[in-house]
Copies of this chain bind each other. A is one copy, B any other.
Amino acid sequence: MEFSSKIIEQAVDAFAQLPGVGKKTALRFVLHVIKQEQYKTDNFSKLINQLKTDLKFCTKCHTISEQDICEICANPLRDEKIICVVQDYRDVLAIENTGLYKGHYHVLGGLISPLEGITPSSLNIESLTTKLEANVINEIILALNATMEGETTSFYIFRKIAPYQVKLSAIARGIAVGDELEYADEVTLGRSILNRIPFDSLLKK
């Protein structure tokens, strides 16, 4: 695509770096911004700057936070003996939105993926074992995607953690609430039978 203006071209290139955005979509975004009211554009541009200047990663759990220690890690009402290991900030939000978890988190910052060049050393795994050495953790819950990368990462952490006296669990895989058995894939259905649970535990929810 050839543009009549250098500024449009550069702005399209900048928007096209966002995940899943191609040049055509980027151009739609650019035209939208041009037509927006001035104050909205000023605000948009300012917020993008603030994302870098005002946000940091929590030094304890590595989630995104405005403080050095995030609100969850700083909350005395939450159980610091349980750590839920997740891929990124979005998973923290998703689990927080369930309102059913009251422990701490540990954000890996990605999943092991040799194809994308993401090795264990580029993830926050070392700091997890450091936490275990302090001997205050009772349980680690692995809450990673049910994908090849997620399973690989879970297994890697399982082996790293093995030397420590800590309970290791993983979130349940099974039929999603509202789903029909007929359309579930065999692996999920098979696992949901192997990992069946006492019926009365369902009644409590």
> Which A positions have Cβ atoms within 8 angstroms of B?
1-8, 10-11, 14, 17-20, 25, 27-34, 36, 38, 40-52, 54-55, 63-66, 70-72, 88-90, 92-93, 96-97
Contacts and interface: CB of A to CB of B under 8 A. Distances in A.
A117 to B, nearest CB: 15
Contacts of A28: 18-20, 90
Nearest to A35: B109
Contacts of A32: 17-19
A7 B47 contact: yes
Contacts of A51: 7-8, 11, 30, 33-34, 41
Nearest to A27: B90
Contacts of A44: 14, 48
Given A14-B47, A19-B29, 14 more contacts: A1-B97, A3-B93, A4-B71, A4-B72, A4-B92, A4-B96, A5-B66, A6-B66, A10-B47, A14-B44, A18-B28, A27-B93, A34-B51, A45-B48
15 contacts: A2-B96, A3-B93, A4-B93, A5-B64, A5-B65, A7-B66, A14-B40, A18-B32, A19-B32, A20-B28, A31-B88, A34-B51, A34-B55, A36-B52, A45-B48
